Amino acid sequence: MTMVKSHTRKKYANPAKHEIRAVSNAATDYIKQWTTRELGKIQQAQTSPLCIPVNNGYKIGQYRLITHPNKTCEVYNHNHELVHIFENKISAMLYTVYTIKRRYHSADEIIILDREINKNYTDMLSLRHIIEAARKNKDYLLVDSRVARLEMAETKLTIARNKVSQIHLYAKLAKVWD
């Protein structure tokens, strides 16, 4: 017995790949916006900042921290704009916590010290490179002048790192997160 082909069955065309991709991108964008909005509402209701680990960093309140393998940490605000690239993760977290808690003086102090650390560290690296090149060229006058600058950069770097470590210790003992 043979079956008769149904002429009433609807025939659906397969959607194109770009249409499927567009729909899925719209859905993921909506989910991202919804989660950001809901996290903002939860953060406003809480007195202490929420820290949520994500695939390449953390989300603290409306801030996003992206950690890198070289221990630096980028901080982005709620508008997805880069605030600063911190030397370490602890300073970045403290900066966001202090900003969320509206302790702007402490947050500014952390960012100023981190900028000084970054400046002195890059100065130190470049001065070491200049000194090596001058020693190869036997330009000892340049070596003497750059050694003095190198020592100043190293001392400023250690002073700034000690101040940041004191801020970290104070935040740990004062339980700033709560």
> If the chain, 178 residues long, is cut into consecutive pieces of 10 residues, what is the mean pLDDT of each piece?
66 77 91 82 76 86 90 90 92 91 91 94 94 91 91 94 91 77
b vs e for 112-124, b when ≥16 Cβ sit within 10 Å of the residue's Cβ? Answer: ebbebbbebbebb
Whether residue 164 lies inside any domain: the answer is yes
Whether residue 62 lies inside any domain: the answer is yes
| CA dist., res. 104 & res. 124, Å (int) | 30
Read off φ and ψ for residue 148, nearest 5 degrees. Answer: -65, -45
Whether residue 17 lies inside any domain: the answer is no
Helix axis angle, 104-136 to 140-174, nearest 10°? 160
* Res 3: pLDDT: 67
Which residues, in sequence order, are bridge partners of residue 141?
A: none
Strands of 73-76's sheet, edge to edge? 51-54, 57-60, 63-67, 73-76, 82-86
E strand or H helix at 175, and its extent? none
Domains contained in the chain, number: 1
Whether residue 53 lies inside any domain: the answer is yes
Helix axis angle, 140-174 to 89-100, nearest 10°? 50
Whether residue 29 lies inside any domain: the answer is yes
* Res 68: pLDDT: 92
Domain span including residue 116? 25-174
Whether residue 10 lies inside any domain: the answer is no
Quick count: other Cβ atoms within 10 Å of Cβ 100? 18
Whether residue 1 lies inside any domain: the answer is no
Whether residue 111 lies inside any domain: the answer is yes
Distances (CA, A) of 173 to 46, 52, 139: 22, 22, 51
Instruction: Write out the DSSP string of 38-89.
Output: HHHHHHHH-SS--EEEETTEEEETTEEEEE-TTS-EEEE-TTS-EEEEESSH
